[in-house]
Amino acid sequence: MSYKSTFQRAVVTGGAGFLGSHLSDALLASGCEVVCVDNLCTGSRENIGHLLGDPRFSFVRSDAIDGIHVDGPVDLVLHLASPASPVAYTRLAIETLRVGSEGTSNALELAGEKGARFILASTSEVYGDPLQHPQVESYWGNVNPVGERSMYDEAKRFAEALTVAHASRRGVDAGIVRIFNTYGPRLRSGDGRVVPNFIRQALADDPMTVHGDGTQTRSLCYVDDTVDGILRLAASPHLGPVNIGNPEELTVTELAHRIRELVVSASPLRHLGLPADDPKFRCPDISLADELLGWKPSVSLEDGLLRTIAWFSKNQDPAVTRLPRGPKEESVPS
Ligand code: NAD
Ligand code: UDP
């Protein structure tokens, strides 16, 4: 990917996480300096290890809840700090609510003080278990405020409201991106999300844990496409919210079969209970992203999964290392 540099110096909260580290890569490649602020509660030094020697990159290990202090000019604040997987935000329930509220407030204060563009990493989870399909930005959602996912959903809904208030009352130049399920290299294998779980299980020939009957759907976007969408919103004057996601929707069972095929694995499917409030359908309407940002995803599910599997094969437990089936192998007669 190559971006024309619109910004000189960005603060990325959550920059040592999956998405934040890829965004940092893209910003640095565009000529922008990056200050990564992260408490490493779900992120890791490995995600940014390749950047630590770059003089244009700095890492501040601190909690966004305690205030975000950065010296010098800043013209972009990308606020990603938050646990993001259901396993992580369930374990860190109060921390998730606090970073969504106090952490977002601190990130907005920083943007206001520096006169920087602010982008909130919101989520398709603001639509809850949606009653409208696909989900368009004007849909208000169907969230259980005291349910199993409420710490995350309500934190992000509050964060959106706070962002809108800072934009309208204090003139902060803000944008809200509603990110749909994104996958790719650097997802933690113990993160609990479906793609790293299935890939790890398939590589080890372990049972693939399908929650419920596996008919619930998700629409998976490869990380490079999501990063491109977020940076396009950052470079635009729009507040949004704007959905960024890939409308190629499939059931969880279909996903298990696709990954099993690409890994050439003998894993059986094992059905576990469906977590409470697990959304039954999820698919973004991305007309607004297309209209405002000229954005559409470009990486197919097969390509994205192959790249992700290749990364997991290299970076995970050597006992389960295995090469994914290459696209060329498909055309080889058996
Ligand atoms: P991740 O867990 O890999 O990254 C989150 C990062 O935030 C981690 O590095 C973590 O250590 C850091 N963090 C958490 N709380 C913090 C705090 N209080 N102070 C400082 N740092 C803190 O998850 P991700 O998938 O990269 O998600 C990044 C952001 O994007 C999150 O805000 C998430 O809600 C949003 N998002 C992601 C997806 C997705 O599919 N990946 C979908 C929707 C929204
Ligand atoms: N899921 C699954 N097996 C797993 C992990 C997740 O079947 O090992 C299901 C989960 O219940 C949900 C979907 O896959 O229906 C996506 O889960 P994920 O945690 O990746 O993200 P979500 O969209 O639920 O936030």
- Output the pLDDT for position 3: 54
* Token duo for residue 97: 């609510």
- Output the pLDDT for position 199: 97
Any idea which ligand is nearest the CA of 256?
A: 2
Q: What is the pLDDT of residues 46-81, one digit of tens each?
A: 999 999 999 999 999 999 999 999 999 999 999 999
Maximum average pLDDT range among 33-42, 187-196, 322-331: 33-42
Residue 29's closest CA among 247, 204, 224? 224
Gap between the Cα atoms of 184 and 241, Å rounded: 24
Confidence band of 190 (pLDDT split at 50, 70, 90): confident
CA–CA–CA angle 37, 169, 154 (5° rounding)? 55
- Contact call for residues 141 and 130 (beta carbons, < 8 A): yes
- Output the pLDDT for position 315: 87
Q: Which residues is 323 bridged to in the sheet?
A: none
Mutate to test the pocket of ligand 2, among 127, 252, 305 (most ligand atoms within 8 A of CB): 252
Span 3-20, average pLDDT? 90
pLDDT at 39 over 90: yes
Q: What is the pLDDT of residues 240-288, one digit of tens each?
A: 999 999 999 999 999 999 999 999 999 999 999 999 999 999 999 999 9
Any idea which ligand is nearest the CA of 270?
A: 2
pLDDT at 319 over 80: no
Q: What is the pLDDT of residues 201-244, one digit of tens each?
A: 999 999 999 999 999 999 999 999 999 999 999 999 999 999 99
Gap between the Cα atoms of 277 and 266, Å rounded: 31
Q: What SS3 state is found at 93?
A: helix
Percent of the chain residues topping a pLDDT of 70: 93
- Output the pLDDT for position 157: 98
What is the pTM assigned to this prediction?
0.95
CATH hierarchy code of domain 9-187+221-246+283-297 = 3.40.50.720
Confidence band of 330 (pLDDT split at 50, 70, 90): very low
- Output the pLDDT for position 70: 97
The secondary structure of the chain in percent helix, strand, coil, rounded to multiples of 5, reads: 40, 15, 40
Ligand 2 centroid – CA 89 distance (Å): 13
Ligand 1 centroid – CA 220 distance (Å): 17
Residue nearest to ligand 1 atom 14, measured at CA: 82
- Output the pLDDT for position 318: 46
- The catalytic residue positions are 152
Q: What is the pLDDT of residues 302-315, one digit of tens each?
A: 999 999 999 999 98
Percent of the chain residues topping a pLDDT of 90: 91
Ligand 2 centroid – CA 90 distance (Å): 13
Q: In ligand 1, which atom is closest to the CA atom of 40?
A: 11
Residue 79's closest CA among 164, 175, 5, 1? 175
Mutate to test the pocket of ligand 2, among 194, 219, 223 (most ligand atoms within 8 A of CB): 194
Q: Which amino acid is at 206?
A: D
Residue nearest to ligand 2 atom 21, measured at CA: 193
Q: What is the pLDDT of residues 158-175, one digit of tens each?
A: 999 999 999 999 999 999
- Contact call for residues 24 and 34 (beta carbons, < 8 A): yes
Ligand 1 centroid – CA 38 distance (Å): 9
* Token duo for residue 168: 């309208």
Which residues contact residue 98 at a Cβ distance below 8 angstroms, ignoring those fewer than 6 apart? 65
pLDDT at 183 over 50: yes
- Output the pLDDT for position 2: 47
Ligand 2 centroid – CA 214 distance (Å): 9
- Output the pLDDT for position 6: 86
pLDDT at 331 over 60: no
Gap between the Cα atoms of 36 and 21, Å rounded: 9
Gap between the Cα atoms of 213 and 193, Å rounded: 17
Ligand 2 binding residues, C-beta < 6 A: 85-86, 181, 193-194, 197, 209-211, 216, 218, 252, 275, 278
